[in-house]
Structure 1
Amino acid sequence: MDNKETMIKEILFDMSMKLGSCELQILENVLRIKLRKCRIEEENTELSTYVDDNDYIIKLFIANKRLENLSPKSIEQYVKATRNMLCYMNKNYKDITTNDIKYYLAMYQQTRGVTQNTLANIKRFLSAFYTWASDEEYIEKNPVRPIKAIKQQTKKKEFLTKEEIVNMRDACKTLRETALLDFLLSTGVRVSELTSLNIKDVDFTKEEVNIYATKTRAYRTGYLNENAKKHLLDYLNSREDDSEALFISTRENKRINTQRVQKELQNIAERAGVTKHVTVHLFRKTFATNLYNAGCDIVIIKELLGHANIATTEKHYASVNQVEIRREHMRCA
């Protein structure tokens, strides 16, 4: 990487904490246009002396991923995995070999007793860093690329049955609890999306919800069915606060947080005699499964869930329940 490119990366990193992804992209474009005919001599900059430093290269990686509008959670996962590996191996990132990565993954699994799925995720996080480093020409060869895919264990897709949903509805004690359950079943939102929603994001006339996905940094439209619309209106009409949040904590009249939502769902589940670990994510999977079993096209389900890749929808969310399997067997066998 030449001095000019290093300088651009350094400037983008310095500004990444103050500018959003759009502003960073504009800044990068301006820098490339203005510096196109300029030549930066090596003796005029000390940037190149820091390229070999692990902490420095990780900071550049963070700035680059912010520029790509990657979610903070994803960036955090990539950085944590990379830092842990480099600290464990006690080597410069440029000196890491394929055998080093294999050794680290083997030791990680042995010492922590993690599943194949977790190990595959660690490999994926390391691959993200080294693919970037290779593409940006900080290294000549990506040490993760030659490693074969880690065979993952197929987990049984879990979702709430119709009976469990009925029991949980019956176990609701407040208008908010009922509204929360039906809203989740109708929209399939993520917990971060749910807690950030405002009343103005819901159009009751069109029965639509404007959802902002913090994970993908994109908006999508969700829809309210009859139950969700009715119970959400009942809940909102019962409130006497002036909060803009769609769901609030009853104690403080403030926006409900992730921990409170998850705890409330689990409390309802316990009262209903549901033994599964009930979370917003389980409702999200139930939402997808119900649509799939009703004959909804997987592409439509992908859009409603806000997935970037349809493979994610197929692999982790939509599933055929045993009742449907038995019915089809009796029909076709």
Structure 2
Amino acid sequence: MGIYQRNNGVYYYQIKKNGKNTRISLETKDRELAYRIYENYIVNKLENKLLNICKPIIESNQRPAVEAHIQESTIAIQDTRKPILVAFNEYIELCASQNLSQGVIQSKNRLNELLKKNKIKYLDEINQKFINEIVSKYQKDTANRYIKNLKAFLNFCIKKRYYDRADFESLTFVRQDDNIREVIINEKDYTKLIKECKDDDFKLYMMSLWHTGCRPNEITQLRKSDIDFNKGTAKIYQTKTKKYKTVYLMEYFYTYS
């Protein structure tokens, strides 16, 4: 038990799960803050254990009064200004105990980084504006992943009585539709752009993007050995899938090659 410090200065504590030690980051290099967060974790853990021990041995004639006291105690420890740092550490600890993959946990941690980036320190600071900005600023898959992880985290906080369900239901968790596409340039713009290109290499680059639909980094990594001039095709390496795709080339490629 206790807190420890990594080489980079960030504090963490250890718990044992399935016979293995698991490190839970406290996400801070401030020793005093780290101790406060860890103390909060220990207190919550002890209170939950005491409630579980005391409840089964309550006499039937005493049960209503004692259960009312337990309910009052539960409400008393509810913190409407719960620091997200504390709540998120508990959430990640739960996820780790459920043997979720490292990729899933990393995805959830990216939500925590986004909250930090937007300087959201408390649960009651999560609002509709924050959700709308996620949808408007990020690509479809990324935005939908953030929204999904945010809903899961807030549902966890509701169960822990850190967050009010009424606040949750007041939010609209918008998802980006598959059919939403923004046209960056049209054919008229493209023709004008090509006419203005004075450098042949850059002109070839722009024409390659337009005719193949490849990503900019895929075109810059294209080598002459990837091109089959007899068939008029090129093999494009996709960094996301780690596979090659074949695209057909227009006649301009032979002009500039």
TM value normalised by structure 1: 0.36
Considering fraction of residues, name the structure with more helix.
Answer: 1
Question: Hey, which of these two has a bigger chunk of strand by percent?
Answer: 2
**Structure with larger Rg:** 2
TM-score by length of 2: 0.44
